[in-house]
Amino acid sequence: PQFLALRSSWLSTSPEQSTQPQMPPRVPNLIGGSFVESQSSSFIDVINPATQEVVSKVPLTTNEEFKAAVSAAKQAFPLWRNTPITTRQRVMLKFQELIRKNMDKLAMNITTEQGKTLKDSHGDIFRGLEVVEHACGMATLQMGEYLPNVSNGVDTYSIREPLGVCAGICPFNFPAMIPLWMFPVAVTCGNTFILKPSEKDPGASVILAELAMEAGLPDGVLNIVHGTNDTVNAICDDEDIRAVSFVGSNTAGMHIYARAAAKGKRIQSNMGAKNHGLVLPDANIDATLNALLAAGFGAAGQRCMALSTVVFVGDAKSWEDKLVERAKALKVTCGSEPDADLGPVISKQAKERICRLIQSGVDDGAKLLLDGRDIVVPGYEKGNFIGPTILSGVTPDMECYKEEIFGPVLVCMQANSFDEAISIINKNKYGNGAAIFTSSGAAARKFQMDIEAGQIGINVPIPVPLPFFSFTGNKASFAGDLNFYGKILVTTKQKKIHSPFSLLIYIL
Ligand code: NAD
């Protein structure tokens, strides 16, 4: 694992040392079992968002290299699909062990390239690790069905077969979790895979691939091609790729959904979000405010399940002041600092976009209760930092409400009744997740029945299902009919009751 050794040497570099000039390494592709430097003449800088240091250079893979990766995956398929399921599972068992051993290195890589706090980076890896653990039980998951004597002397059985070469296209916000949503399940089923990591933070994918190879994944079963639009379009158009997993924005997701479907591929496309937290006045104030802070500002708001919009019903609006006080106390700094609550946003362009949306809210008549736009972080003056920001009195016609902000900005709205709040949420075009905060069982039940969102939380701010269920999505947040990881579901629901019996999680 040469590349891992190389990464390890960067990873041991402290932020102070890393300001010294150094030759940024080139991120390799993985083709047919070899980590190879691209012959491309075009490379993009991977930038540490807290310092603007160039961490590495990622290639725009050439068409020949892309074809070589698909050809390697196609060649590896017949042998791999006929490899016993127990052997394939055992590779995942070893893989999960290696991920655990390399957790700190992986986390430091994510914090360096993506900016999130080390704690969030560990969470990023851990949620992906759970999918690898899930894949270790693939034999049971892949079982088919059998019915004897459907007609006189005729028995019928169905089997779950691998498709062939599959591909995954990843966003920047979870550099370990999202690749791990994709390839472990696909390859353990017997497919081979082409992974296209985000060009903004490709390092974690390469480290994970090295660990998967070390765990025993045969050459050609997992391949990595870096790049942007051209590489993605090549994936959509390629005749040998049978299925595409995508996670990212709506613009890219709908383009990929249409283009890959036109070539007859199966597609699962998880896209943007505007998740609402509905707060009833009977909720537990302390727990609710803490949940809103963690879910709104954690990972600098760059989570597809971030609770970016709060709808206060009736008197709950008076809690806004307390929310502002607590948000002010959050520490914004480089993610590798031990006391960091939130790190920078991914790029200068992202910061500009977020600041423009905050200003649009002000121009449209919202009240800026907390403004994080001009924050200066000592020691990291060049970083793309935005402090926690709270807009109040937001209405559905405002741009800051209609657009996904994807930054540390909480948009607060007011509803006079529970029904009005539900209607506001259901009119939003997105439907990734939604949460209610209440102590009323009747209100909780109504919410879970009436809300049009893929993941629903009851006193659970980020109701992401564990891999034995599946990650879903509704309305503009999802296109396709096969969900990521576990069983195919339309909605998952999670509930936390503040009582002596404390935690009850269930799925309908
Ligand atoms: P993005 O769409 O910009 O990029 C995602 C991938 O698509 C990248 O690999 C990129 O190279 C490629 N891409 C981008 N534009 C393209 C185009 N025009 N043509 C072809 N390929 C293109 O997304 P991002 O900024 O990296 O990630 C943030 C987005 O991802 C947010 O909208 C967030 O809500 C969403 N997201 C959704 C989920 C979910 O499960 N629903 C999970 C995580 C992130």
Over residues 324-353, the pLDDT tens digits come to 999 999 999 999 999 999 999 999 999 999
* pLDDT single digits (tens) 244-279: 999 999 999 999 999 999 999 999 999 999 999 999
What is the atom index within ligand 1 of the atom nearest the CA of 172? 26
CB 11 within 8 A of CB 109: yes
Spatial separation of the C-alpha atoms in residues 386 and 391, rounded to whole Å: 14
CA 88 → CA 92, 205, 231, 259, distances in Å?
A: 7, 20, 29, 32
- Residue ID of nearest Cα to ligand 1 atom 42: 304
Spatial separation of the C-alpha atoms in residues 74 and 68, rounded to whole Å: 10
Spatial separation of the C-alpha atoms in residues 177 and 349, rounded to whole Å: 24
How much is the pLDDT for 488? 66
Q: Facing residues of 29 across strands?
A: 36
Q: What is the mean pLDDT of residues 224-228?
A: 98
What percentage of the chain reaches a pLDDT higher than 90? 90
Residue 501 pLDDT more than 80? no
* pLDDT single digits (tens) 33-56: 999 999 999 999 999 999 999 999
Q: Indicate if 304 belongs to the active site.
A: yes
> What long-range pairs does 447-451 form, CB within 8 A, spacing at least 24?
447/278, 447/422, 448/493, 448/495, 448/508, 450/422, 450/426, 451/422, 451/425, 451/426
| Residue 255 CB–ligand 1 contact under 6 Å | yes
| Residue 232 CB–ligand 1 contact under 6 Å | yes
* pLDDT single digits (tens) 358-404: 999 999 999 999 999 999 999 999 999 999 999 999 999 999 999 99
| Residue 252 CB–ligand 1 contact under 6 Å | yes
Catalytic residue among 304, 334, 355, 400: 304
CA of 253 from ligand 1 middle (Å) equals: 7
- Residue ID of nearest Cα to ligand 1 atom 18: 252
| Residue 273 CB–ligand 1 contact under 6 Å | yes
* pLDDT single digits (tens) 72-124: 999 999 999 999 999 999 999 999 999 999 999 999 999 999 999 999 999 99
Q: How confident is the model at residue 497 (pLDDT cuts 50, 70, 90)?
A: low
Rounded to 10 degrees, the C-alpha dihedral 472/477/481/483 comes to: -30
- Residue ID of nearest Cα to ligand 1 atom 17: 252
CB 482 within 8 A of CB 471: no
Q: Facing residues of 169 across strands?
A: 196, 246
SS (H, E, C) 317-362: HHHHHHHHHHHHCCCECCCCCCCCCECCCCCHHHHHHHHHHHHHHH
| Residue 198 CB–ligand 1 contact under 6 Å | yes
Average pLDDT of every residue of the chain: 93
How much is the pLDDT for 111? 98
Residue 507 pLDDT more than 60? no
Residue 219 pLDDT more than 50? yes
| Residue 52 CB–ligand 1 contact under 6 Å | no
Cα-to-chain-centroid distance, residue 362:
30
How much is the pLDDT for 13? 40
CA of 305 from ligand 1 middle (Å) equals: 14
Q: Where do we find the tokens 């069982």? A: 441
Number of neighbouring beta carbons within 10 Å of residue 303: 24
Residue 228 pLDDT more than 60? yes
- Report the residue among 66, 127, 249, 254 best suited for mutation to probe ligand 1: largest number of ligand atoms under 8 A from its CB: 249
